[in-house]
Amino acid sequence: MLDLPDIRTPWLAYRGFEACIMVDNRPVTRFAAEYGEAEDTASAWIACEGTTKFIVYCRKVLPDEYDYTVSLFLDGQQVAWGAVVPKSEGSELHRISSASHSAAERKNLVFNAAALTTYASGLQAAVSAGFGEIKIVLQAVKITDDRRSQNSDRADTTTTPSSTASAPAWLLCDPVSKPVNLVFKYRSPEVLQASGIMPGPGFMQTSTHSVANKESKAQSKVIPEVISTARIIKGPTPPVAVTTQVNLVKEELKVKVEELKVKQEVKVEFKQENETEQKDKMTTKDSPEDGTQQEISDDDDADQIVIKSLRTLLAGLEQAAAKKRAGKEAAQAMPSKKGKIESNSTIDGVAKQGSDDAVDSSLLEHETDQMRPRKKAKRSHDVPHDAEIIDLT
């Protein structure tokens, strides 16, 4: 498995697909993502408390010419069978909120209480294969025989657990790529914090073998390479180049905008479901979901403030970078301009000396001697332009 520096985002993406877990209409941040090329698997850790309900969202990162199928495994057991998502909806969110327990029974997806132990040993606990895991299997397919027109009454139903096909029987599909497995391993926050996977009390005192320290080491291998290319002039800590700051802020801004987009999509869907329930109940009483809706709106406002602050910071950094580039170009243009002026002065001096024989050569030498130390002192303070750095500390 390949360890990469963690990015605070709910999305786990791999090979053109991505997925996230929602609890109480909010995306759950994943930690310590790992990518295994041989197994076509990406995995990450999420924290959860109690046997709460959750919803799985998945989609294609970019739409293409193929449909794809979605299967879901919970604690090692398959609970959703090969739903086909048409290519026209490839980049839209596909939702799974319930599991099949029999041909006629479906229940909400719920975390397993046995996996939520507060003991550190719970991280390695494995009663069975896939225990404490939510695995989403996605595969691009090509529909070879669409029989929905002959079975219109079954077109929008799903297969039962007794079915072994990767797609409904009336849709014959050929796979066009290997299945991609996106795995979310869930444990209690106490276990993840004690293991150094999730930030919390004592996070910096975790073992050197923890995943968090592996990610810190991976980051330390990258950052010095950027700083070592520049000459540190002054300051108690190594300065960070403006371009590096701009890239970091852009990355964080991209993540925040994506999280807000997901929240807004979920809020719209939640609102539609709430309106449908109110119409069915035919009552004027306030539903308990109203408070949750207000919390989501408040959270959206907070996200908007964060995004606005990041954009303001990004604009300031880009302006500083532009000023730095302009100053560097002006400084580079100064020697050529100065050389041109000195050349013209020399020509004028030679012409004057030819026309006026009364020029005192010793005075000219005296003036030249006075100019030399001044030039030398100026050169001693010169700093290479490529070493100029804005110290943001």
State pLDDT tens for residues 260-271. 777 777 777 777
Is residue 19 a part of any domain in this protein?
A: yes
Q: Is pLDDT at 93 greater than 70 in this prediction? A: yes
User: And the tokens for 149?
Assistant: 């027109």
Per-residue pLDDT, 191: 86
Same domain, 189 and 304: no
Tally the domains of the chain: 2
Which of 166-169's residues contact partners 24+ apart within 8 Å by CB, and which partners?
166/69, 166/71, 166/81, 166/82, 166/139, 166/141, 167/69, 167/82, 167/84, 167/141, 168/82, 168/84
Mean of pLDDT over the chain:
67
Is residue 334 a part of any domain in this protein?
A: no
In which domain, by residue range, is 55 found?
2-148+163-206
pLDDT higher for 83 or 245?
A: 83
Of 13, 37, 151, 143, which Cα lies nearest the Cα of 82? 143
Same domain, 167 and 266: no
Q: Among 75-79, 158-162, 283-287, which stretch is predicted with the lowest mean pLDDT?
A: 158-162
Same domain, 137 and 9: yes
Q: Among 110-119, 220-229, 300-309, which stretch is predicted with the lowest mean pLDDT?
A: 220-229
pLDDT higher for 44 or 341?
A: 44
Is residue 312 a part of any domain in this protein?
A: yes
Q: Among 327, 354, 382, where does a domain finish?
A: 327
pLDDT higher for 127 or 255?
A: 255
Contact 132, 186 (CB under 8 A): yes
Same domain, 197 and 285: no
Is residue 68 a part of any domain in this protein?
A: yes
User: And the tokens for 157?
Assistant: 């139903």
Per-residue pLDDT, 224: 32
Q: Among 302, 327, 352, where does a domain finish?
A: 327
Same domain, 113 and 183: yes
Per-residue pLDDT, 20: 93
Collect all residues with Cβ–Cβ distance below 8 Å to 96 and sequence separation of at least 6. 55, 56, 57, 58, 70, 72, 80, 83, 109
Q: Is pLDDT at 137 greater than 90 in this prediction? A: yes
Of 90, 59, 84, which Cα lies nearest the Cα of 165? 84
What is the phi/psi pair of residue 184, to 5°?
-110, 115
Same domain, 189 and 268: no
Per-residue pLDDT, 91: 72
What does the alpha-carbon distance between residue 325 and residue 330 come to, in Å, rounded to a whole number? 9
Same domain, 176 and 268: no
Report residue 160's pLDDT band, with 50, 70 and 90 as the boundaries: very low
Same domain, 262 and 192: no
Same domain, 182 and 255: no
Q: Among 327, 359, 380, where does a domain finish?
A: 327
Is residue 176 a part of any domain in this protein?
A: yes
pTM for this prediction: 0.47
Per-residue pLDDT, 263: 73
Same domain, 167 and 43: yes
Is residue 223 a part of any domain in this protein?
A: no
Same domain, 123 and 268: no
Q: What is the mean pLDDT of residues 91-95?
A: 83
Q: What is the mean pLDDT of residues 220-242?
A: 37
- Dihedral sign, CA of 37, 43, 44, 45? negative
Per-residue pLDDT, 242: 61
Q: Is pLDDT at 73 greater than 60 in this prediction? A: yes
Report residue 57's pLDDT band, with 50, 70 and 90 as the boundaries: very high
Per-residue pLDDT, 181: 94
Is residue 374 a part of any domain in this protein?
A: no
What does the alpha-carbon distance between residue 264 and residue 272 come to, in Å, rounded to a whole number? 12
Strand partners, 182: 42, 136
Is residue 217 a part of any domain in this protein?
A: no
Same domain, 248 and 202: no
